[in-house]
Structure 1
Amino acid sequence: MKTLYLIGGPMGVGKTAAGQALKLLLDNSVFLDGDWCWDMHPFRVTEETKELVLGNIALLLNRFLRCSACDHVILAWVLHRQEVLDALLEQVDTAGCAVRPISLVCRPEVLRARIGADIAAGRRDAGAAERALAYLPLYRELHTRHIDTSELTPEQAARRILERSQRT
Structure 2
Amino acid sequence: MKTIYLIGGTMGVGKTTVSQQLKKELPNSVFLDGDWCWDADPFQVTEETKAMVMRNICFLLNSFLHCTAYKNIIFCWVMHEQSIIDEIINSLNTGDARVIKISLMIDETNLRKRLSADIARGIRSNDVIDRSVARINMYQILDTIKVDTVNKNICEIVSEILTL
TM class by shorter chain equals: over 0.9
Is 1:80–2:80 an aligned residue pair?
Answer: yes
CA distances 1:8-55 after superposition (whole Å, capped 9, x unpaired): 000110000110111111110011111000101011111111111111
Is 1:109–2:109 an aligned residue pair?
Answer: yes
AA paired with 1:15?
K
User: Residue 151 of structure 1 corresponds to which residue in structure 2?
Assistant: 151
Instruction: Give 1:71 shift.
Output: 0.2
User: Residue 10 of structure 1 corresponds to which residue in structure 2?
Assistant: 10
Distance (whole Å) between structure 1 residues aligned to residue 15 and residue 67 of structure 2: 24
Is 1:134–2:119 an aligned residue pair?
Answer: no
User: Residue 124 of structure 1 corresponds to which residue in structure 2?
Assistant: 124
CA distances 1:46-66 after superposition (whole Å, capped 9, x unpaired): 111111111101000000011
AA paired with 1:157?
I
CA distances 1:107-159 after superposition (whole Å, capped 9, x unpaired): 11000000011111111111101111011100011000001101111221111
Distance (whole Å) between structure 1 residues aligned to residue 55 and residue 158 of structure 2: 27
User: Residue 57 of structure 2 corresponds to which residue in structure 1?
Assistant: 57
TM-score, length of structure 2 as denominator length: 0.98
Give SS of 2:87's match.
helix
Distance (whole Å) between structure 2 residues aligned to residue 54 and residue 156 of structure 1: 31
Q: How many residues align?
A: 164
TM-score, length of structure 1 as denominator length: 0.96
Distance (whole Å) between structure 1 residues aligned to residue 120 and residue 17 of structure 2: 19
Q: Which consecutive residues of structure 1, in runs of 5 or more, have no partner in the other structure? A: none
AA paired with 2:112?
R
Give SS of 1:132's match.
helix
Distance (whole Å) between structure 2 residues aligned to residue 41 and residue 115 of structure 1: 22
User: Residue 24 of structure 2 corresponds to which residue in structure 1?
Assistant: 24
Is 1:39–2:5 an aligned residue pair?
Answer: no
Distance (whole Å) between structure 1 residues aligned to residue 36 and residue 71 of structure 2: 21
Moved >4 Å (runs of 4+): none
